[in-house]
């Protein structure tokens, strides 16, 4: 193609007046009722739960739909899992207009596959796609397709408690040209991967290293969207943290110069939202997570934990596993490294934990932070240590983890958060 700005000879898309190249109303919407199904002739054996490694074993089938600027969305196709074939000039390889979601399907005691608050994943994916100018899609159509895939692959959902079928809906830009502009072609696919228990040998608290020289997200940036491009720049800092003996990075954002630890805002832990539990003077517990200021991914698990903490009182017992008289107060407020260090010194920092779909809730045992030492070139790493609890989880993390999992698996009802895959979307 001589001119990279003219996608596939489509006059409409090349019109400089057309601010939104998806505005034509003759484009086909994503339509779940048009799905075609080609079943595999060689179904794979289901690996035993002990052999499952997160995201490594895939189910038998995948779902694929394509978007092109002349026709809109193709009829979705369910077919045997296998490689994709793409033009090497596709924008996904060059400029990364790629978005994804992370969801799980759970088996209830009735043997029925369920999803957890899936409409929130669909809405978030819609926002992510819009952020990188990918074509819009109907969230209810995508949800119907996901349910269809889960029902088709239901034999892959592990039965054991705490296990699930991980679902990865993805949209990538496939505009086959090198011009630096929005992708007017896209490929949507859904793949599924069975997940064993997150902790093979029982929950173990993780360690985090706060890094200052690499930033995951910043005001006006893309940290609040689930875009592929947010993750690769975290791999090298993650390696460095591992070399220093920490399992994940505690992502910080430095606000203002010369403010020391006061200026270091805590944002997220690895690819999880971050919470702390702080004891107040009156003995109540503050459960604190940073606010959604654009640098934080708006996690469903974060939202669910906040909602449950807000709903809990000693009489409502939204968190039945909390000791009876415990009062908890949810806060979305700025959290700095200085806060962590101060609460630790005062003996008030009771718990820290990460939350996200894959782990649900993971306790944090140690948080390293770097300080400059007079006369030394290298920064020194100091640790904030969390109390050790039997079984790994502190009381709030444990109560949240147990409650969220029991709602996800349909063993408890809460606000219609758990949705059967057999229900119409
Ligand atoms: C996906 C993700 C989370 C967790 O979101 P959930 O909706 O709870 O799974 C948190 N932080 C980052 C950076 C993420 O990508």
Torsion angle of C-alpha atoms 310, 311, 315, 318, degrees rounded to 10:
-120
Give the CATH number for residue 36.
3.30.470.10
- Domain end call among 197, 215, 239: 197
Q: β-strand 77-80 against 36-37: which pairing, if any?
A: parallel
Q: What is the pLDDT of residue 8?
A: 42
- Domain-embedded: residue 352: yes
| Domain shared by 284 and 145, yes or no | no
Does 63 share its domain with 188?
yes
* Nearest alpha-carbon partner for 363 in 274, 244, 265: 274
d(CA 271, CA 267): 10
Q: How far is the CA of 297 from the centre of ligand 1 (A)?
A: 6
- Asked if the structure places residue 417 within a domain, the reply is no
pLDDT tens track for 226-267: 999 999 999 999 999 999 999 999 999 999 888 899 999 999
- Note whether 399 and 320 are within 8 A (CB): yes
Domain membership flag for residue 1? no
Same domain, 320 and 259: yes
pLDDT of residue 386: 98
Tell me the CA distances in angstroms from 372 to 177, 246, 319, 368, 391, one per residue in order: 48, 19, 42, 13, 36
Distance in angstroms (rounded) separating the CA atoms of residues 252 and 265? 5
> From residue 258, how far is each of 230, 254, 261, 264, 337 by CA, in Å?
28, 10, 9, 10, 14
Domain shared by 154 and 223, yes or no: no
Please report the pLDDT score of residue 14 as a whole number. Answer: 43
pLDDT number for residue 6: 40
What distance in angstroms lies between residue 209's CA and the mean position of ligand 1's atoms?
19
Asked if residue 420 is part of any domain, the answer here is: no
Does some domain include residue 394? yes
Does 246 lie in the same domain as 131?
A: no
Q: How far is the CA of 100 from the centre of ligand 1 (A)?
A: 11
Dihedral in degrees, nearest 10, Cα atoms 396, 397, 401, 403: 10
* 111 lies in the same domain as 246: no
Tell whether 291 is covered by a domain.
yes
The reply to whether 223 and 185 lie within a common domain is no
Q: What is the mean pLDDT of each run of 10 residues along the chain (425 residues)?
A: 40 43 81 98 94 94 98 98 98 98 94 96 98 98 98 94 93 97 98 87 90 94 98 97 96 91 96 98 97 98 98 94 94 98 98 96 97 89 97 96 95 95 79
List residues bridging with 329 in a β-sheet.
286
CATH of the domain at 324: 3.20.10.10
- 422 is a domain residue: no
Unique residue bearing structure tokens 């591992």: 242
Residues 65 and 163 in one domain: yes
One domain for residues 242 and 180: no
Q: How many domains does the chain have?
A: 2
**Minimal CA–CA distance to 209: which of 290, 264, 256?**
264
Computed over its alpha carbons, how large is the radius of gyration of the chain? 23
The answer to whether position 413 is within a domain reads: no
Ligand 1 pocket, mutate which of 54, 102, 293, 307 (most atoms under 8 A from CB):
102
Q: Tell me how many helices (H) and strands (E) the chain has.
A: 8, 19
Residue 387 contacts by C-beta under 8 Å, 6 or more apart in sequence? Answer: 350, 351, 394
If asked whether residues 246 and 183 sit together in one domain, one would say: no
**Containing domain of residue 319, as a range?**
206-408
- What residues have CB less than 8 Å from 279, skipping those under 6 apart? 285, 286, 348, 350
Distance CA 370, CA 400 (A): 31
**Whether 228 and 184 share a structural domain:** no
Q: How buried is 349 (Cβ within 10 angstroms: 0-12 exposed, 13-18 middle, 19+ buried)?
A: buried
- Contact assessment for residue 179 and residue 191, using Cβ atoms and an 8 Å cutoff: no
Pair 394, 336 in one domain: yes
Q: Which of 98, 119, 208, 272 to mutate to test the pocket of ligand 1 (most atoms within 8 A of CB)?
A: 272
pLDDT at 424: 73
Determine if ligand 1 sits within 6 Å of the CB of residue 300.
yes
CA 270 to ligand 1: nearest atom: 13
**Final residue of a domain: which of 170, 197, 224?**
197
229: which residues sit within 8 A by CB, 6+ positions away? 96, 98, 222
């Amino acid at each position: 193609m001589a001119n990279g700005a003219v996608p596939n000879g489509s006059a409409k898309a090349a019109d400089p007046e057309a601010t939104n190249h998806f505005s034509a109303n003759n484009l086909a919407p994503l339509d779940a009722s048009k799905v075609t199904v080609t079943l595999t002739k060689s179904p794979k054996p289901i690996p035993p739960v002990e052999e499952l490694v997160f995201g490594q074993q895939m189910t038998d089938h995948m779902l694929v739909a394509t978007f092109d600027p002349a026709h809109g969305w193709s009829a979705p196709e369910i077919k045997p899992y296998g490689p994709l074939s793409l033009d090497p000039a596709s924008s996904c390889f060059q400029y990364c207009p790629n978005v994804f979601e992370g969801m799980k399907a759970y088996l209830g005691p009735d043997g029925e596959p369920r999803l957890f608050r899936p409409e929130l994943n669909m809405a978030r994916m819609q926002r992510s796609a819009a952020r990188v100018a990918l074509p819009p899609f109907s969230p209810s159509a995508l949800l119907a397709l996901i349910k269809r895939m889960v029902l088709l692959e239901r034999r892959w959902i592990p039965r054991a408690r705490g296990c699930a079928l991980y679902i990865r809906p993805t949209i990538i830009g496939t505009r086959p040209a090198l011009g630096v502009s929005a992708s007017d072609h896209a490929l949507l696919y859904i793949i599924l991967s069975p997940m064993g228990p997150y902790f093979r040998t029982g929950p173990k608290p993780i360690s985090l290293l706060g890094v200052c020289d690499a930033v995951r997200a910043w005001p006006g940036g893309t940290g609040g969207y689930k875009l592929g491009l947010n993750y690769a720049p975290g791999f090298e800092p993650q390696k460095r943290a591992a070399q220093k003996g920490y399992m994940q990075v505690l992502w910080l954002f430095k606000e203002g110069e010369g403010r020391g630890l006061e200026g270091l805002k805590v944002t997220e832990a690895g690819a999880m939202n971050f919470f702390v539990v702080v004891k107040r003077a009156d003995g109540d517990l503050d459960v604190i997570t940073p606010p959604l200021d654009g640098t934080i991914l708006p996690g469903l698990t974060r939202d669910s934990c906040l909602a449950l903490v807000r709903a809990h009182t000693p009489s409502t017992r939204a968190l039945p596993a909390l000791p009876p008289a415990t009062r908890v107060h949810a806060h979305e407020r700025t959290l700095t490294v200085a806060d962590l260090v101060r609460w630790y010194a005062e003996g008030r920092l009771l718990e820290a934990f990460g939350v996200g779909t894959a782990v649900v809730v993971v306790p944090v045992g140690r948080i390293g932070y770097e300080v400059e030492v007079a006369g030394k070139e290298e920064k020194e790493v100091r640790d904030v240590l969390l109390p050790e609890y039997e079984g790994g989880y502190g009381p709030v993390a444990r109560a949240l983890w147990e409650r969220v999992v029991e709602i996800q698996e349909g063993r408890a009802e809460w606000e219609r958060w758990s949705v059967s895959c057999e229900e119409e979307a």
